[in-house]
Amino acid sequence: MARTSNYRAAPQERAEVTVRPEGIDEMVIGTLSSGQGHETSFAQRSTNGSACGPTACDSSPATPDRVAIGAGSHSGRSLRLASLTAHQASDEIIEKGRRIASHLLEAAEAGIDFADGYFTVAGTDRSLDLFAVAVAARDDASLPAELRGPLAGIGEVTSQVASFPHGFHVSEVEIDPDTGAVEIVRYTAVDDVGRTVNPMVLHGQTHGGQTHGGQTHGGIAQGAGQALLEQCVYDAGSGQLLSGSFMDYAMPRAADLPFFATAISEVPSTTHPLGLRGGGEGGITPALGAIVNAIVDALADLGVTHLEMHVTPERVWRAIRTKPGE
Q: Residue 24: its pLDDT value, please?
A: 81
The conformational region for residue 201 under phi > 0 = left, psi -120 to 50 = alpha, else beta, is alpha
Higher pLDDT, residue 280 or 99: 99
The model's pTM: 0.69
The sign of the dihedral angle between the CA atoms of 32, 153, 104, 140 is negative
Give the pLDDT band (50/70/90) at residue 146: very high
pLDDT band of residue 96 (cuts 50, 70, 90) is: very high
Residue 20 and residue 247: Cα distance in Å, rounded?
Answer: 47
In the CATH scheme, what architecture does the domain 166-321 have? 2-Layer Sandwich (3.30)
Split at pLDDT 50, 70, 90, the class of 315 is very high
Question: Which residues of the chain form CATH 3.30.365.10?
Answer: 8-158, 166-321
83 or 17, which is more confident? 17
Q: What pLDDT, on a 0 to 100 scale, did the predictor assign at position 214?
A: 33
Does the CA dihedral 2-10-35-89 come out positive or negative? positive
Q: List, for residues 251-308, the tens digit of each pLDDT value.
A: 888 889 998 888 888 888 887 777 777 766 667 788 999 999 999 999 999 999 999 9
Fold of 8-158: Aldehyde Oxidoreductase; domain 4 (3.30.365)
